[in-house]
Structure 1
Amino acid sequence: MNPRVIAAAWGLPVTVAFVLVPLAVRDRLPDPMATHWGNGGRVDGSMSFSGFVAMGLLLWGVPWLALLVGSGWAHARREGRMFWWGTLGFMSVFAPGVSLSTLVANLDVPVWTAAHLTAWHVIATLAGSAAAAVAAGYLARGEPGQPPSADARPPRLRLREGERTVWVSRVTNPWPAAVAAAAGGGVGVLVVLRFLGSGAGAVLGVTLPALVIVLLLGLLSASVAVRVSGDGVAIGFGPFGWPARRIRLRKIDVALSETRHPSQVGGWGFRGLPGSATIMLRGGECLIIRYRSGGQLAISIDDASRGASLINALIAERVEQ
């Protein structure tokens, strides 16, 4: 059956339940309701009844609609299928679990400040969500993607005897770069505030490290560069190409070029499953490196076909020597 039909048939009654279940116990709930708890299970935030219902619908409805829209591309590959069904399984337990736990905590209490959320509610919701994600992803994994036939392999470059050729390509995603720039600006502001002796020392002490981490992660995931030469394949991250990962030619079986999209591999960034890792900064042409050990690495990079051709030529040259 079409996965989009299954998700729609499952998601519609879940969406309705997010409205009908709270309405069924409306007269047993305080208004406003407790909706956030801090350390020790102490309530520290509230929301109106209508706001609580709207929050639940958003928590469930946004990812559900996103899964419906992206179901076509996601099911083209095993990684995408596992991520798609795993996400649906996770949200099908997590979102109702959060809503139900909040309702139970508020049930029959006189005021929202008296609501208490037990640790078991949190543990059960998280454990059930994780179990549902693993089970759904595993059961819906299907058959692994079929490797391209020999005819589909990119042409091998003809290298003259003694000729040394190098291929270099880079791809950039502007969104992580923008996030890094915003975090860098925030770091600059906080440094100035600290230099001026601002009284918000506690806030600065917590926020500054978090912004530095976001800055570093944004820089590392904003761009990737690939260099192919007789020494192997070098993959550099960030604007300075560091850190770098190097793959020796003796470890590579074959290189290919394929078109892949984030929805097929589980999203943007550094994605991975056992034996299959992906560096996905943008959808489109990807360089596929298949190892002699059986695993593979996919990298979204421009001019991937030419890079794969050079890798295959260098491997053949190494075998012939």
Structure 2
Amino acid sequence: MNPVAPPAPLRSGLHAPLRLRILTALPFVLAAGTHLLLLALWSDRLPDRLATHFTLAGEPDGFTGRTAFAAAGTVALLVLGAAWTLFTQRAALWGAWLTAGLLGTLLCLLLGDNLDVTDPAAVSFPLGGLAVAAGAGAVLALAGHALSRLVPPEDGPAHDTGVDPEAPRLDLGSGEVAGWSRATASAPLTALGLLLLAVGAVAPLLGGRLLLPLAVLLAVPGLALARVRVSVDRRGLTVRSTLTPRPRVHVPLADIAGADARDVHALREFGGWGYRFRARRTGMILRSGEALVVRRGDGREFAVTVPDARTAAALLNTLVERRGRL
């Protein structure tokens, strides 16, 4: 393997990811604050037990104490906010605002329907309330989309014309065949997925039955990405979950211009963990540290954090050059 000069670090766009994270968390903080403020202002007008779950006909079939309702609603908003903040991207900021607006409005409407009632069983929640919540979510989604313009896109890498002469290579004979494979895991994604499942398991006990499917919906993709296997062979680069058949990312050898190994910072450069999108750059980011970075022919980059990335990059460069000589 040839000696390699230290590669230039990825341009991180420090201020853009930080600004994106703040704008993503903001609607959830505002929704949680509004929820708690209304609970405090209306404390004398609310019954001790609130009607919190309803049939399709709008009749109550689930009740929750005020303290439990306050805790469950606040935790749901903050956990969702944390998940969106970890996994969001500039183009999906509207989704975070939609989620916060929808859930926050539903919590506030529930409080309003329980005002001044002596028997929670007499409370009704018409389907019109769902339409109001959807409308509020749509308005906030538009606001989130507009605010995404405050997050400048990152500059992409220049167009690649071939393997860097100083990039690492493996000394393979013309008839030799080689492959490389490593499994790697993400502690943050594993912890977040387990936390979401725990919240979903506890939520029905507190009357928040709708939180269970929502928690599962968020936790399963995170856990699927928490452990992946990275493989390099004559077909190119493949990254797949070790728990489920999908997600799977494959970069064909014909689409690879070169590869190198470099250190990346999950939050500063990619805004979090998981499958991340940036301008002309994507990545399966499980942690900060050593990463295999593949440069495509059109100048885009794909990064995956994995141990022994330098060996994987060396093999890819050798295979790319061998294919170019065919």
Would you say same fold, with TM above 0.5?
Answer: yes
1:298 counterpart letter in structure 2:
A
Q: Counterparts of 2:190 and 2:32 in 1: how far apart (Å)?
A: 36
Change (3 A) 1:268 1:104: same
- In structure 1, the residue matched to 2:117 is 109
Matched, 1:144 2:154: yes
Asked if 2 retains the 8 angstrom alpha-carbon contact of 1:83 and 1:266, the reply is no
Asked if 2 retains the 8 angstrom alpha-carbon contact of 1:80 and 1:265, the reply is no
Name the structure, 1 or 2, with higher relative contact order (CA <8 Å, separation 6+). 2
Percent identical pairs in the alignment equals 23
Matched, 1:52 2:69: yes
* Number of corresponding residues: 279
Asked if 1 retains the 8 angstrom alpha-carbon contact of 2:153 and 2:279, the reply is no
Deviation at 1:130, TM superposition (A): 6.0
* Higher fraction of helix: 1
CA RMSD of superposed structures (Å): 4.8
Deviation at 1:102, TM superposition (A): 0.8
- In structure 2, the residue matched to 1:233 is 237
Deviates more, 1:225-234 or 1:10-19: 10-19
Deviation at 1:15, TM superposition (A): 5.1
- In structure 2, the residue matched to 1:30 is 47
Matched, 1:156 2:168: yes
Q: Counterparts of 2:29 and 2:242 in 1: how far apart (Å)?
A: 43
Deviation at 1:263, TM superposition (A): 7.9
- In structure 2, the residue matched to 1:89 is 97
Deviation at 1:217, TM superposition (A): 7.4
Change (3 A) 1:6 1:238: closer
3-state SS of the aligned residue for 2:57? helix
Deviation at 1:34, TM superposition (A): 0.9
3-state SS of the aligned residue for 1:39? coil
Q: Deviation digits for residues 164-203 of structure 1, max 9, x if unmatched?
A: 35342322438789999xx9xxxxxxxxxxxxxxxxxxxx
Unaligned stretches of 5+ in structure 1? 184-212
Matched, 1:168 2:180: yes
Q: Counterparts of 2:248 and 2:38 in 1: how far apart (Å)?
A: 52
**TM-score under structure 1 normalisation?**
0.63
Deviates more, 1:127-136 or 1:34-43: 127-136
Runs of 4+ in 1 over 6 A off after TM superposition: 4-13, 174-180, 216-219, 239-244
3-state SS of the aligned residue for 1:257? strand
Deviation at 1:33, TM superposition (A): 0.9
Unaligned stretches of 5+ in structure 2? 1-14, 198-216
Matched, 1:132 2:140: yes
**TM-score under structure 2 normalisation?**
0.62
Candidates 48, 58, 79, aligned match of 1:41: 58
Q: Counterparts of 2:33 and 2:274 in 1: how far apart (Å)?
A: 34
